[in-house]
Amino acid sequence: MSQDNQRGTLYGLGVGPGDPGLLTLKAVEVLKRVPVLFAAGSSKNEYSLAFNVVAAHLPASVEVRKLDFPMTHDQASLDAAWRANALAVKAVLDSGRDAAFITIGDPLTYSTYGYLLQTLKAIDPAAKVETVPGVTAYQAAAARLNLPLVESRESLMVVSGVSDLNDIPALAACGDNLVIMKTYKNFDQIIDKLDELPVRRKTYCVSQCGLPDERVVMDATTLKGQKMPYLSLILVKGPAEAKE
């Protein structure tokens, strides 16, 4: 623990996809000793899945603070929120206290922590930061399927489902296996784009991985037309004909 005459350290903790059993021992060790815990949340509610994952490991004395990250595409609003959150973290570190920022999955893979880290370092290049990796949703999903993500000389590409969907065919052509994260918003359109591939691929869908309402589907195309949860991803293996 930092001494009063020293600056504190920020620990960026990946807490896994949602199953508390996938929290790493190193993350638990940090959680048990930091006096301040930051958790990201929407400005519209107080819910934090990451907090629910770690709650059992927190001492009664920990100070929990929620940082609002607005769900918007307005860059000015995002920049203002990231700066305000980074300054809140900096104030704790300047007081000599350590702090942890918890995030679902891995902190450096499609995570709000990445924005916080960059903004904090821009404001205060000397800030002390230690990042603790976490199990990603796609690793946990592959484990639930007992499905190897890559073998031998195969390649793996991880992309966001909220990007330009027209890029999917080109991205799929660059990798033997594809992980599409954040498919909830454009699920049907993503399935349509995968159907356009010149060679058929096997597609799997896992939603709410590690949570009580987890759903594992061996053919993602059967879900077309359904409203998908926020935590939904597609694993694309292929070409299927070459494997069967």
Residue 191: give its domain's CATH number. Answer: 3.30.950.10
Residue that is last in its domain, among 99, 132, 165: 132
**Six-digit token string for 176:** 């033997």
Q: Which two structure tokens, joined as six digits, stand for 181?
A: 């994260």
HEC string of the chain equals CCCCCCCCEEEEEECECCCHHHCCHHHHHHHCCCCEEEEEECCCCCCCHHHHHHHHHCCCCCEEEEEECCCCCCHHHHHHHHHHHHHHHHHHHHCCCCEEEEECECCCCCCHHHHHHHHHHHHCCCCEEEEECCCCHHHHHHHHHCCCCCCCCCCEEEEECCCCHHHHHHHHHHCCEEEEECCCCCHHHHHHHHHCCCCCCEEEEEECCCCCCCEEECCHHHHCCCCCCCCEEEEEECCHHHHC
Residues 211 and 156 in one domain: yes
Specify whether 144 is located in the same domain as 231.
yes
Q: Which residue has the higher pLDDT, 41 or 57?
A: 57
pLDDT for position 150: 93
Q: 216 and 124 in one domain?
A: no
In this structure, are 128 and 216 located in the same domain?
no
Summarize pLDDT for 125-162 with one digit per residue, the tens. 999 999 999 999 999 999 999 999 999 989 999 999 88
Q: Specify the pTM.
A: 0.89
Give me the pLDDT at residue 172, please.
83
Q: What is the mean pLDDT of the chain?
A: 90
Domain end among 108, 132, 156: 132
Can you give the pLDDT at residue 86? 97
Q: Are residues 18 and 126 in the same domain?
A: yes
- Decide if 169 is inside a domain: yes
Region 37-50: mean pLDDT is: 74
Confidence of residue 243 (pLDDT cuts 50, 70, 90): very low
Q: Do the domain assignments include residue 107?
A: yes
Query: What is the distance in angstroms between the CA of the first residue and the CA of the last residue of the chain?
Result: 55
What is the band of 30 on the pLDDT scale with cuts at 50, 70, 90? very high
Are residues 143 and 220 located together in one domain of the fold? yes
3 in any annotated domain: no
Indicate whether 59 and 36 sit together in one domain.
Answer: yes
- Count of positions (residues) in the chain: 244
Instruction: Give the C-alpha separation, 210 to 234, whole Å.
Output: 15
pLDDT for 198:
84
Residue 240 has pLDDT above 50, yes or no: no
* Residues contacting residue 138 through CB under 8 Å, at least 6 positions apart: 149, 158, 179, 181, 233, 235
4 occurs within a structural domain: no
Q: What is the pLDDT of residue 242?
A: 43
Do residue 146 and residue 126 come from a single domain? no
Residues spanned by the domain of 15 = 9-132
**CA atoms lying within 13 Å on the CB side of residue 53:** 28
- Final residue belonging to a domain, choices 75, 104, 132: 132
Instruction: Specify the pLDDT at position 42.
Output: 60
- pLDDT classification of 94: cutoffs 50, 70, 90: very high
Tell whether 2 is covered by a domain: no
Give the tens place of pLDDT for each residue, 64-76.
999 988 777 788 8
The mean pLDDT of 111-128, rounded to a whole number, is 96
Give the per-residue pLDDT at 244.
39
> Does one domain contain both 114 and 187?
no
Asked whether the beta carbons of 55 and 28 are under 8 A apart, the reply is no
pLDDT at 53: 94
Q: How far is CA 172 from the centre of its chain?
A: 22
Judgement on whether residues 111 and 141 belong to the same structural domain of the protein: no
Is the same domain home to 174 and 73? no
Residue 86 within any structural domain of the chain? yes
Q: Which two tokens stand for residue 225?
A: 């037309």
Inside any domain, residue 1: no
Per the domain annotation, does 156 fall within a domain? yes
**Residue predicted with more confidence, 170 or 192:** 192
Q: Token pair for residue 137?
A: 């949703």
Q: Are residues 111 and 25 in the same domain?
A: yes
Structural domain count, the chain: 2
